[in-house]
Amino acid sequence: MFLHSDFDDTHRELFHTVQAWAKKTLAPGAAERDRDASFDEALYRRLDTELGLMNITLPESLGGSELDVAATILAIEALSEQDPGIAMSYLSQELLFAHQLYWSWHFSGRNMPERHKTILKNKWISGMAMTEPNAGTDVLGMSTTASRTEDGFVLNGVKQWITNGPVGKAFLVYARTGEARRDISLFMVEAGIPGFSCSECEHKMGMRSSPTGILTFQDCRIPETSLVAEFNGGLIPMIRNLAIERLGLAAQSCGIASTCFEEMRRYAIERHAFGKSIVEFGQIQRLLSESYASLLAMHTMLYTTIRQVMDNDPESSVNADAVKLFCATAAETISRNAIQILGANGYSTAYPVERLHRDSVLLSIGGGTNEALQKNISRQLIRRKEGLAWT
């Protein structure tokens, strides 16, 4: 209901198609998948067989739709309205793997290896491995290494909290390849090869229908063709994709908040106490009106910044940080407001707001914690010469 004029008919049709599909197909089993912490691969595959959502930003030669990244982000928002866990797995495969792999080669001006093309064409369940047990927000503090050999590299290290880890067949893996802090390279690594193993992470508070794993590399030998683009050039695709990832996560916040708002609005109208609908009480009106105002602000910020990123606006990176910071915080507040309005019903699993509130918490942690984003934004503000002009 918040789509604005920057989106064309293709964007609008995609959003509404995915939104209707998610309500019909994802919503009925979302609570069960959350309860059992189960990933339904057959259901996940239907994102492509029925909606054509995989490789959406890639060329047709790689099984793609040749749409822009805005289409992916809108699809993520629509999916997140019903099952943010499924949306998280899709975000990981689509934005963090497929989009990043293809565009890393594209911007490098080098030819993509045939093996990489094959993996993209086959639309393997995949993910991206950057976070480590002792290096999350401090990405440059990673300790996973890739040492050169005569015919490739040897990977050693551990990656943790990796979305799609237990079910993925291919991963983009960041590893240290030199002595300098910025000497990091990006590799495409296939699951199942000697020296590469995955175990499931601890049970999670939310996003439970999206599997998360610990990837371990122990003297894992990978060929030279595993290197993506340039040696010691991993920071380039990392930084280029960070803004896009954060907008995808902000879209998840918008999807969660939209459903929670609609649940509280409907409940406030239908629920009666002391002889009248509770929506007539000032306390309820405050929660509803403030939630709506926040929801409108979330969508306005997100959709405006999507356009800035696509237009390579110099402000897009810091604005993406600001959008994720605001949207993640607002989604937690709106979902909590929904629980308050629904009372005991909101605290129970009878309504989706309890589940969605738990899902929302991850968005202030993953893809850059709120604290890290506050630091990034503050640094950019300090570097301004004057007013709102960026240096």
Kindly report the CATH number assigned to the domain that includes residue 153: 2.40.110.10
- As a whole number of Å, the CA-based R_g of the chain is 21
Contact call for residues 30 and 82 (beta carbons, < 8 A): yes
DSSP-assigned beta bridge partners for residue 153:
148, 222
Over residues 7-29, mean pLDDT: 96
Which of 170, 195, 226 delimits the end of a domain? 226
In the predicted structure, residue 5 carries a pLDDT above the cut 70? no
The CA-based dihedral angle spanning residues 367, 372, 374, 376, taken in that order and rounded to the nearest 10 degrees: -90
The answer to whether 258 touches 86, Cβ cutoff 8 Å, is: no
Are 133 and 214 found together in one domain? Answer: yes
Assess whether 307 and 172 both reside in one domain: no
Domain-located, residue 390? no
The H or E element that residue 283 is part of is helix 282-310
pLDDT for 65-88, tens place per residue? Answer: 999 999 999 999 999 999 999 999
Q: In this predicted structure, what is the pLDDT of residue 211? A: 96
| DSSP H helical ranges for 109-203 | 114-122
Classify residue 239: in a domain, yes or no: yes
Tokens of 22: 């998610």
CA–CA distance from 206 to each of 96, 150, 262, 297 (Å)?
20, 44, 21, 25
- Whether residues 214 and 87 fall in one domain: no
* Domain contains 157: yes
**The Cα angle at residue 214 between residues 212 and 220, in degrees rounded to 5:** 135
Q: Is residue 388 part of a domain?
A: no
Q: In terms of Cα–Cα distance, which of 339, 303, 374 is closest to 6?
A: 303
| Same-domain check for residues 207 and 256 | no
Asked if 198 contacts 191 with a C-beta cutoff of 8 angstroms, the reply is: yes
pLDDT more than 70, % of the chain: 97
Between CA 26 and CA 292 the distance in angstroms is 25
Q: Give the residue-averaged pLDDT of 353-373.
A: 96
* Average pLDDT of the chain to the nearest whole number: 94
Question: Does 178 share its domain with 277?
Answer: no
Residue 317: φ, ψ to 5°: -65, -50
| End position of a domain, from candidates 67, 95, 122 | 122
Task: Specify if 3 maps to a domain.
Answer: no
Judgement on whether residues 74 and 162 belong to the same structural domain of the protein: no
Task: Report the percent of the chain where pLDDT is more than 90.
Answer: 85
Q: Which of 106, 122, 138 is the last residue of a domain?
A: 122
Q: Which residue has the tokens 């880890």?
A: 165
- pLDDT one-digit tens code per residue, 300-333: 999 999 999 988 888 888 999 999 999 999 999 9
For 290, the domain range is 235-383
The answer to whether residues 187 and 293 belong to one domain is no
Same domain, 29 and 113: yes
How many domains is the chain built from?
Answer: 3
Which CA distances in Å does 380 have to 30, 44, 260, 364? 40, 39, 33, 20
Asked if residue 390 has pLDDT above 50, the reply is no
* Residue ranges of E strands in the chain: 126-129, 145-148, 152-163, 170-176, 184-190, 196-200, 212-223, 272-273, 276-277
Q: Which two tokens stand for residue 27?
A: 């919503």
Q: Which of 3-17, 62-76, 247-261 has the lowest mean pLDDT?
A: 3-17
What confidence category does residue 391 fall into, taking pLDDT thresholds of 50, 70 and 90? very low
Provide the sign of the torsion angle of the four alpha carbons 212, 94, 223, 121, taken in this order.
Answer: positive
Dihedral pair phi/psi, residue 371, rounded to 5°: -65, -40
pLDDT given at position 263 = 98
Q: Is residue 391 a part of any domain in this protein?
A: no
**Rounded distance between C-alpha atoms, residue 316 and residue 356, angstroms:** 28
**Tokens encoding 87:** 């949306």
Name the least confident of 53-62, 127-136, 268-277, 317-326.
Answer: 127-136
Q: Hey, what's the torsion of the CAs at 223, 224, 229, 232, to 10 degrees?
A: 110
Residue 4 lies inside a defined structural domain of this protein = no
In-domain check, residue 118: yes
Query: Cα separation of 245 and 127, whole Å?
Result: 12
**DSSP state at residue 202:** P
User: What CATH number is attached to the domain comprising 32?
Assistant: 1.10.540.10
Q: Which residues contact 280 (CB under 8 A, 6 or more apart)?
A: none
| Same domain, yes or no: 73 and 145 | no
Q: How far is CA 226 from CA 128, 149, 185, 258, 367, in A?
A: 14, 13, 10, 41, 24
Statement to judge: residues 332 and 360 lie in one domain: yes
pLDDT band at 240 (very low <50, low <70, confident <90, very high): confident
**Do 251 and 354 fall within a single domain?**
yes
pLDDT at 389 over 70: no
184 and 284 part of one domain? no
